[in-house]
Homo-oligomer: A and B are copies of this chain.
Amino acid sequence: MAKQAGKAPTLTDVARVAGTSTAVVSYVMNNGPRPVAAATRERVLAAAAELDYRPNRIARALRSRTTGVVGLILADASNPYFGALARHVEQALDKRGKLTLTGNAGYSPDRQEHLADKFLAAQVDGLVIVFADGGADVATQVKRAGVPAVYVHNQPEDGQAPAVTADNEDAVQQAVAHLRGHGHTRIAFLAGPRDAGPVGRRRATWETALAGTGAPLLRCEYSRAAAAALTGQLISEGSMPAALITATDEQAIGVLAAARAHRLAVPERLAVISLDGTPDSAYTAPALTVTQQPLEAMAAQAVDLLLGGEAAAPPALSAPLVIRGSCGCAATDS
């Protein structure tokens, strides 16, 4: 059937075989801007099939100024939270026929800009940006280029660009309420090194909820090692609070490891709730009670927002509380 020798067949080849001009072939291929007679369409389709013709996306992109590629900039794919988000974004984009150009920026603003630059030069049709923090420079850079962009999980300071996040206020409130239900009053919060945008609002919500109780605000990098180090230090000093909400699972996992190393019983002497809810959280010891972010829904909404259509009232992205062992409830280990 299919020719196997030589170069890939082009539009012109198909036109020659079908006995038409390249224009009609193009019209057929994209149900083009002009109608084509049924009989002709058949001939074209047959010719295309015979040659195993596949349109050259590059040529199409050059002419039509749309590449069918979307850039995804994220902090770090080896963090399961971002990794899972990346996977869902990629899948949502694929469903819309788009390809995903991925870049890991680490937590460095320089690399964020570098990637944005590269992606813009590659003429992406849009950008999905998932940062842990910061990214203001990138935001203005992107806006100036006039490329549509959506921020997920965070929002640049200027707050102009559309952003998708779970309902963080609600999540924090659920966590606080649940820990209070266990009798805790001094509930500490482990935040990231800085905070801006929606993720920062987690801290703000905690602050108003716990106002006046003297519960400490802790800060460390979003890594297991950093959280473990901080926790170890606090335990040694004897200043570890009895209840803690962590901004991320990575931090919570670090806290748990340090507690174990120092023989501090969880949840008896330290109750923990984390705000991410990655798959990892179900397999820690004890399993983490979390507010589970709906990553798939967030990814879907981000893509809808970016590509338009489906603008049906964006569903509220609530992060339900998933109760496991680390908060003090009977461990429902499995």
Chain A interface residues (CB < 8 Å from chain B): 4, 54-59, 61-62, 67, 69, 72, 76-80, 82-84, 86-87, 90-91, 94, 99-104, 118-119, 121-123, 144, 224, 228, 253-254, 256-257, 260-261, 279-280, 282-285, 287, 333-334
What chain B residues lie within 8 Å of A254 (beta carbons)? 283
Are B69 and A78 within 8 A (Cβ)?
no
Are A260 and B280 within 8 A (Cβ)?
no
Residue from B67, B76, B83, B103 in contact with A79 in the complex, judged by beta carbons closer than 8 Å = B83
What chain B residues lie within 8 Å of A72 (beta carbons)? 102
Complex: A129 Cα to B72 Cα, angstroms: 19
Copies of the polypeptide in the assembly = 2
Residues of A contacting B: mostly: helix
Are A104 and B123 within 8 A (Cβ)?
no
Complex: A122 Cα to B54 Cα, angstroms: 10
Q: Which residue of B lies closest to A100 (CB)?
A: B102
Complex: A94 Cα to B111 Cα, angstroms: 11
Q: Which residue of B lies closest to A254 (CB)?
A: B283
Complex: A334 Cα to B261 Cα, angstroms: 6
What chain B residues lie within 8 Å of A282 (beta carbons)? 224, 257
Q: Tell me how far the C-beta of A265 lies from the nearest C-beta in chain B, rounded to whole angstroms.
A: 13
What chain B residues lie within 8 Å of A256 (beta carbons)? 283, 285
Q: Which 4 A-B pairs have the closest CB atoms?
A: A285-B285, A83-B83, A78-B84, A102-B102
Q: Which residue of B lies closest to A76 (CB)?
A: B87
Are A84 and B90 within 8 A (Cβ)?
no
What chain B residues lie within 8 Å of A104 (beta carbons)? 87, 90-91
Are B101 and A100 within 8 A (Cβ)?
yes
Q: Tell me how far the C-beta of A179 lies from the nearest C-beta in chain B, rounded to whole angstroms.
A: 22
**Extra contacts besides A54-B121, A83-B83, A256-B283 (8): CB < 8 Å:** A78-B86, A82-B83, A87-B104, A100-B103, A224-B282, A224-B283, A257-B333, A257-B334
What chain B residues lie within 8 Å of A76 (beta carbons)? 87
Complex: A59 Cα to B72 Cα, angstroms: 22
Q: Beyond A224-B283, A257-B283, is A57–B123 a contact (Cβ under 8 Å)?
A: yes
Q: Beyond A77-B77, A283-B254, is A122–B333 a contact (Cβ under 8 Å)?
A: no
Q: Which residue of B lies closest to A8 (CB)?
A: B145
What chain B residues lie within 8 Å of A228 (beta carbons)? 334
Q: Tell me how far the C-beta of A228 lies from the nearest C-beta in chain B, rounded to whole angstroms.
A: 7
Are A94 and B100 within 8 A (Cβ)?
no
Are B103 and A333 within 8 A (Cβ)?
no
Q: Tell me how far the C-beta of A77 lies from the nearest C-beta in chain B, rounded to whole angstroms.
A: 4
Q: Tell me how far the C-beta of A64 lies from the nearest C-beta in chain B, rounded to whole angstroms.
A: 10
What chain B residues lie within 8 Å of A118 (beta carbons)? 94, 99
Complex: A104 Cα to B102 Cα, angstroms: 12
Q: Tell me how far the C-beta of A97 lies from the nearest C-beta in chain B, rounded to whole angstroms.
A: 9
